[in-house]
Homo-oligomer: A and B are copies of this chain.
Amino acid sequence: MTDISVGMLGCGTVGTGVLTLLKRGAKQIAESLNVHFKVKKIAVKHPDKKRDTELTENMQFTGQIENVINDPSIQIIIEVMGTLNEAYDAIYQAISNGKSVITANKELIALKGPQLTRLAHEKHVDLYYEASVGGGIPILRVLSDSLITDQITGLTGIVNGTSNYVLSAMKNDHNSYEESLKQAQELGYAETNPVNDIEGFDAAYKLAILSQLAFGQTINLKQLNRKGIGQITTEDIKGASRLGLTIKPIVIAREKHHELYTLVGPVAVSRQYPLATVNGVENSILVTSTALGTTSYTGPGAGSEPTANSVMSDLLTVTHHLLLDESGTSFNIPVNHIKEHSLLDLPLKYFVAINETTVDKLESFINHSEYIENVVRINHSYFLITSSLVKGKKAELVAFFNKETKGSRFYPLLK
């Protein structure tokens, strides 16, 4: 039996999940791998807080991250504290100290993943982060393993459970945005300050990580076309539904002619589209590649044990490498520098929601336009499906509706 000493940074929801799974799986791990994991030290804000003694038996809690990352007896660090700069410094130091690292920190990997991966290579240690995207779905493993011989050409996914919960509740329970968000907060699916989830930042980080693995390129988050879900009204959802569409919080990255087209925001999808039935806090990612065609991976996008299970997968991979003296690999990241665009630069169909308007002018326009495929009117609002529009033509339509109506919202549409 080999003892592997582990240090943990943070002990919140995910950290507690990891301790639970380590305890529950100890016998099985011992039998299959002949390994015993010993969590020696855990760095937390309040080391004196009362904790579940069964889970934390023989573990030392400390207020100092340095006590963990500089302990020469600790071989693997699990980072589940979820800050940016503090986590970066800690992981940088841990890797420099020759420790392999597992993290669930999406912001960190989205912004600093490639640097930290390079450092880990140099230091011959591992850096894994399956838990950072898609909760318990083993999506990074799949992308990383498929990459060498297959060529990924597109990713489309629902990766933020909070936004998906809110939009699902608006559609299925006919609640307002505010009511749905409040419900999500009460259930623990949304934070008190929900801006990170609702405005698409969290989804953008996850898209960046997926793109690193799928296209060898982290996306430029400052230039990314990112929209939140705060502007979506129950009327838009109703109008979409009447046209056979559902509005979903989507991330997209597509490679076309060796350039990358990306988007984070609400998208109208048809009822047949695979993501249409992904409801509540569930996540789902569609991967399109040359050999495989489209495959999809669906599961719980958050939660203590699902996310912790991804950490456990990484822990077993890292341990396997340690035992074979084969550390220094990581998820397989190719390196690319291709041009980035907004997905809206490509020809796309749109679902358009139009507020109260002068009926005559609009009706005449709609009846004579070759770009409108379907239309439904609910009270004073109009809801349209356009044909596929190039960028310039869409701008013309936006300008026309801005002039002739009290406001319009354009949602990209996926069939």
Contacts and interface: CB of A to CB of B under 8 A. Distances in A.
Contacts of A292: 136, 299-300, 305-306, 309
A21 interface: yes
Contacts of A298: 274, 295-298
Interface string A282-308: 000000001111111111100101101
Interface in A97-138: 136-138
Contacts of A137: 295
Tally of this chain's copies: 2
A413 B203 CA distance: 37
Contacts of A148: 25, 28-29, 32-33, 316
7 contacts: A32-B332, A145-B316, A149-B313, A150-B309, A291-B306, A294-B300, A297-B298
A298 B273 CA distance: 13
A291 B313 contact: no
Interface of A: 21, 24-25, 28-29, 32-33, 136-138, 141-142, 145-146, 148-150, 272, 274, 277, 290-300, 303, 305-306, 308-309, 312-313, 316, 324, 326, 332, 334
A316 B332 CA distance: 13
Contact of A21 (B149, B294, B324, B326): B149
Contacts of A324: 324, 326
B312 A149 contact: yes
A337 to B, nearest CB: 16
Contact of A299 (B145, B295, B305): B295
Nearest to A313: B145
A308 B149 CA distance: 11
B309 A291 contact: yes
Nearest to A292: B136
A118 B292 CA distance: 31
B274 A291 contact: no
B149 A25 contact: yes
A146 B295 contact: no
A391 B159 CA distance: 42
Contacts of A312: 149-150, 291
